[in-house]
């Protein structure tokens, strides 16, 4: 059965799902998106993802041509028609087709696209042995220029850092901010464990406020782990007892090596594994 893609109220075969080459989402990365997970037929943190999508759209003066309730229904419909029970959903809203100039007032018909499919961000074995990551030379965009809390279609900053890690044989890349502090990875938030305490960069370090990040923070507090959202340096990462990443696609991914240096004993640590287990039980309602 051909995968069905939702575009503006219609479910189209994957090969027939097309938008205009004049769409500003293609020409300029002018649009917003969300990536969500589905577990046991339920969209994980559906409302939170839609709230963030609408916030991103509002920040770039983009009017989404449907309500949140209509979007939620469209997501459920797309999952059902593709028989996706455990999978990944990508919501995309573009500015719509316009002219070759930048003027957004000359665009019309914003495109709402929903894709429901399987995803494997990292191979299963990396969750057992841990990821190898590297610090990228490419830094995060200055937050005063473009807020990292906007999930825009322009991901070139992240892609350049991803190219660095791929070409050096690593699984992910840490991106520093304009102050030289740890911000996040190319698509995931980063956490450290030091002396039994959990550390992660604060929002003002220039990071996306990850929905999985927030869930893990809550799970850690429930487990009695002290949590600190404070500025972190590369030194903090390299001397941590444990490191892990979080994201909708990545879930909770252990890190065993950073910049060719073993983290802890070079294997996923006990607190990381415990939080990973707690997260899996949480998303499946156990």
Q: What pLDDT sits at residue 30?
A: 97
Would you say 6 and 78 are in contact if contact means Cβ atoms under 8 Å apart? yes
Distance CA(6)–CA(272), nearest Å, equals 37
Q: Look up the pTM and report it.
A: 0.95
Catalytic residue, from 4, 45, 151, 162: name it.
151
* pLDDT tens figures, 215-239: 999 999 999 999 999 999 999 999 9
Nearest CA to 94 out of 64, 120, 131 is that of 64
Question: Residue 180: pLDDT band by 50, 70, 90 thresholds?
Answer: very high
Q: Are 258 and 131 in contact (CB under 8 A)?
A: no
Residues 32-71 have pLDDT tens digits of 999 999 999 999 999 999 999 999 999 999 999 999 999 9
User: Which CATH code fits 124-283?
Assistant: 3.20.10.10
The C-alpha atoms of residue 181 and residue 145 are separated, in whole angstroms, by 17
User: Is 151 an active-site residue?
Assistant: yes
Q: Where are the domains of the chain?
A: 4-117, 124-283
CA dist., res. 65 & res. 126, Å (int): 40
Can you give the three-state secondary structure of 47-102, one letter per residue? HHHHHHHHHHHHHCCCCCCCCHHHHHHHHHHHHHHCCCCCEEEEEEEECCECCCCC
CATH number 3.40.50.620 given to 4-117: no
């Amino acid at each position: 059965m051909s995968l069905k893609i939702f575009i503006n109220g219609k479910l189209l075969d994957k090969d027939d799902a097309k938008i205009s080459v004049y769409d500003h989402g293609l020409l300029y990365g002018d649009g917003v998106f969300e990536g969500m997970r589905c577990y046991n037929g339920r969209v994980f943190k559906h409302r939170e993802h839609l709230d963030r999508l609408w916030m991103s759209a509002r920040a770039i003066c983009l009017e989404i041509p449907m309500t949140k309730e209509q979007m939620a229904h469209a997501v459920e419909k797309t999952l059902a028609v593709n028989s996706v029970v455990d999978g990944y959903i990508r919501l995309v809203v573009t500015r719509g087709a316009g002219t070759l100039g930048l003027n957004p007032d000359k665009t019309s018909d914003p495109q709402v696209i929903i894709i429901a499919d399987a995803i494997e961000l990292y191979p299963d074995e990396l969750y057992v042995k841990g990821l190898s990551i590297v610090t990228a030379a490419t830094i995060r965009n200055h937050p005063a220029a473009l807020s990292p809390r906007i999930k825009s279609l322009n991901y070139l900053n992240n892609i350049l850092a991803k190219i660095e890690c791929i070409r050096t044989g690593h699984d992910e890349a840490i991106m520093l901010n304009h102050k030289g502090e740890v911000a996040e990875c190319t698509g995931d938030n980063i956490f450290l464990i030091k002396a039994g305490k959990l550390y992660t960069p604060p929002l003002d370090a220039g990071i996306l406020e990850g929905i999985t990040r927030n869930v893990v923070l809550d799970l850690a507090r429930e487990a009695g782990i002290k949590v600190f959202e404070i500025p972190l340096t590369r030194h903090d990462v390299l001397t941590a007892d444990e490191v892990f990443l979080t994201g909708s696609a990545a879930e909770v991914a252990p890190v065993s090596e950073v910049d060719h240096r073993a983290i802890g004993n070079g294997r996923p640590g006990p607190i990381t594994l415990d939080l990973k287990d707690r997260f899996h039980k949480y998303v499946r309602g156990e």
